[in-house]
Amino acid sequence: METSTLTPETGNGTCRHRHSPSARLGRIVVVLAVAAAAGFAGGYAGKSYAQGPHGFWKAAMDPARVDDRVERMVRHLAAEVDATPEQRDKLNGIAKSAARDLLPLREKMRTARTQAVALVAAPQIDRAAIEKLRVEQVALADGTSKRIMDALAEAADVLTPEQRGKLAEHARRMGERRSWGRS
């Protein structure tokens, strides 16, 4: 449970929340998890889009190729946090399992895009069908998000608090480079 106290800010008459260190750590872990998930998904999809007609959306995904990419990403992450070989192996297993679970969603997303285009191109707009597709896509996104967060929690359990701190700092630096949170 988060505890906070209000303390008056000097000079301007407003109050500022002061949160406990455990509440701050909890928020940092959540931000880190979301940033890592977004980085993984965005980086993978972005690189795949950049590959042209044989990229993520067009070509069949070879599971061995996916495993190679996951291993490379984990190797970089492990180096960033000074992970042991045992930790790296565990992280590889977690990430490969998540990637295998998420890979079939690619075809579902492709099918949904085709359906959406067909629905809006039809002579008569079927709002019920559009809403049904939207609800299905929200459920798909929710399931995807849950699987990614489960994998991130498993990965966090493998790392020490010091390593998670290094990872949080790395995510912060990467966010600054990508201008996340710009006003």
**Helices then strands (H, E): number in the chain?**
6, 2
Q: Which contacts qualify for 73-79: CB closer than 8 Å, 24 or more apart? A: 73/40, 73/43, 77/167
- pLDDT tens, the chain, 183 aa long: 444 444 444 445 544 545 555 555 555 555 555 555 555 555 444 444 444 444 444 556 777 888 899 999 999 989 989 999 999 999 999 999 999 999 888 888 889 999 999 999 999 999 999 999 999 999 999 999 999 999 999 999 999 999 999 988 888 888 777 665 554
Tell me, what amino acid is at 170?
Answer: H
Tell me, what amino acid is at 111?
Answer: T
Q: Which pLDDT score, from 0 to 100, does residue 3 have? A: 47
Q: Record the pTM.
A: 0.61
Cβ atoms of residues 135 and 115 within 8 Å: no
Q: Which pLDDT score, from 0 to 100, does residue 176 have? A: 76
